[in-house]
Amino acid sequence: MKRLLALLATCATILGLTALYGPQAVAAAGCKVDYTVTSQWQGGFQAGVKITNLGAPVSGWTLDIAMPDAGQKLVQGWNATWSQSGSTVTAVGVDWNRALNTGAAAEVGLVGSFTGANPKPTAFKLNGVACTGSVGGTPSPDPDPEPGDDGTPVGINGQVHVCGVHLCNQYDRPVQLRGMSTHGIQWFSQCYNNASVDALANDWKADLLRVAMYVQEDGYETDPAGFTSRVNGLVDMAEARGMYALIDFHTLTPGDPNYNLDRAKTFFASVAARNAGKKNVIYEIANEPNGVSWTAIKNYAEQVIPVIRAADPDAVVIVGTRGWSSLGVSDGSSESEVVSNPVNATNIMYAFHFYAASHKDSYRSAVSRASSRLPLFVTEFGTVSATGGGALDRASSTAWLDLLDQLKIGYANWTYSDAPESSAALQPGTCDGSDYSSSGVLTESGTLLKSRISTPDNFPTS
């Protein structure tokens, strides 16, 4: 919504590339690779590759995979720069995962083809050092246990679904998911790395990460494959920490989602097929429709949802509403247009957005009324004005958060970033470091949101 200083952020990103590629990779003294074939079909397969650094920290990494059959060929990959020479497939870390501390892991993946057998590779080298799963010959424990082993949101709740007007967990009990939204990943990719997502999961104790992938504004339409890969990478990062990932197809200008219908079908067909086996993915198919009728939005939704359902029949889908996802209130309408003419699909929710300094009692009244008729999710909100700037409105923000807690409506705050605007949770320059939690790096808005999100969830299990 109303993103300030995007041009400055873009310039900062470009200027930062020199620093990004400056550090040279060093040899790792020990490493472990988990290679898992996640699906296979005639002549093709998909594999996930988890690289764990057991040695000294590295500032850049290259993984060589010795493919055991000459007929195995790389088709494409994600979360790394991929290539193949002879029987060796190589993955090189990219900006958000190239640094690996001791015990840290990077999760990448590939799609390949084969003509004979498809045996799993067993020989891997990280920066030229063989990955044996040990340092000095001593087997090492898994430093990154699977989600669910430690009471994470996904581990407790499993695959969520819509029941009545609520989002419910695997025990058919209503749950409220609370978390943060990224800023545009084309501008602030440096803010989303292992340290920042660790902080969000462990210190903020967030339940979800909303991944804001702009379609226009230097976003998806400029590099569909690259942005799809980046989204998938953030889904994996959230999954590894037991958080839900809300994939946001961030349409803003133009406001009619039908302008991007073909792009939406292509994008969601890809991410739904790739992530169908995951329990942590929720799809938001149109961020903020504006200047368009509810009927047009509904028609768009009824064409995109079947594309997702064809690959991922169980995931929750969130549909944007009229007037910048205000249930029509910002256009002088009300929730009644959705109540009387709902999207013809199941397991869906409707988006509501607000900015606390601009949207007050009349908007809260609409949410209160609608909550008994429609399943709602606040996929984006700010504690400031609708421009993304201005002073924090503590009274209105608190009134909103209290209402959402009371109604068990989930939310994602705009934004988990160090953007130079008061809606950002982090002080400018924070994403150049590794501290995403202490009081010194939080803005006034970030301090308020961290204090609310980090309170216990108390998810029901019976």
Render pLDDT for 69-95 as a digit per residue (tens, 0 to 9): 888 999 988 889 999 998 899 999 988
Q: Mean pLDDT throughout 156-171?
A: 96
The domain boundary, picked from 77, 101, 134, lies at 134
- Name the pLDDT band for 112 (thresholds 50, 70, 90): confident
pLDDT digits (tens, 9 = 90+) for 11-61: 333 333 333 333 334 444 578 899 988 777 778 888 889 998 887 888 899
Q: Is residue 254 part of a domain?
A: yes
Residue 458's CB is within 10 A of a number of other CB atoms, namely 8
**Tally of domains in the chain:** 2
Query: In terms of domains, do 338 and 257 share one?
Result: yes
Is residue 108 within 8 A of residue 98, CB to CB? The reply is no
CATH of the domain at 95: 2.60.40.290
Query: In terms of domains, do 95 and 160 share one?
Result: no
Q: Is residue 204 part of a domain?
A: yes
Strands, E, within 256-325: which ranges? 281-284, 317-319
In the predicted structure, residue 269 carries a pLDDT above the cut 90: yes
Q: Is residue 400 part of a domain?
A: yes
In the predicted structure, residue 318 carries a pLDDT above the cut 50: yes
User: Phi, psi (5° rounding) for residue 434?
Assistant: -125, 0
Query: In terms of domains, do 119 and 177 share one?
Result: no
Query: In terms of domains, do 392 and 310 share one?
Result: yes
Q: Is residue 14 part of a domain?
A: no
In the predicted structure, residue 212 carries a pLDDT above the cut 60: yes
In the predicted structure, residue 139 carries a pLDDT above the cut 50: no
Query: In terms of domains, do 191 and 258 share one?
Result: yes
In the predicted structure, residue 149 carries a pLDDT above the cut 50: no
Q: How many Å apart are CA 412 and CA 208, to the nearest integer?
A: 8
Query: In terms of domains, do 217 and 318 share one?
Result: yes
CATH of the domain at 366: 3.20.20.80
Quick one: pLDDT at residue 308? 97
Q: Mean pLDDT throughout 271-297?
A: 97
- Name the pLDDT band for 134 (thresholds 50, 70, 90): low
In the predicted structure, residue 235 carries a pLDDT above the cut 90: yes
Query: In terms of domains, do 115 and 166 share one?
Result: no
Query: In terms of domains, do 106 and 189 share one?
Result: no
pTM above 0.85, yes or no: no
Query: In terms of domains, do 39 and 182 share one?
Result: no
Query: In terms of domains, do 202 and 67 share one?
Result: no
Q: How many Å apart are CA 329 and CA 421, to the nearest integer?
A: 25
The boundaries of the domain holding residue 270 are 153-453
Quick one: pLDDT at residue 258? 98
Quick one: pLDDT at residue 56? 80
Query: In terms of domains, do 69 and 185 share one?
Result: no
Query: Please, which residues have CB within 8 angstroms of residue 454's CB and are 6 or more apart in sequence?
Result: 203, 204, 205
Query: In terms of domains, do 401 and 268 share one?
Result: yes
Give catalytic residue positions: 288, 380
| 106-110, 168-172, 380-384, range with the lowest pLDDT | 106-110
Burial label, 250 (beta-carbon count in 10 A; 0-12, 13-18, 19+): buried
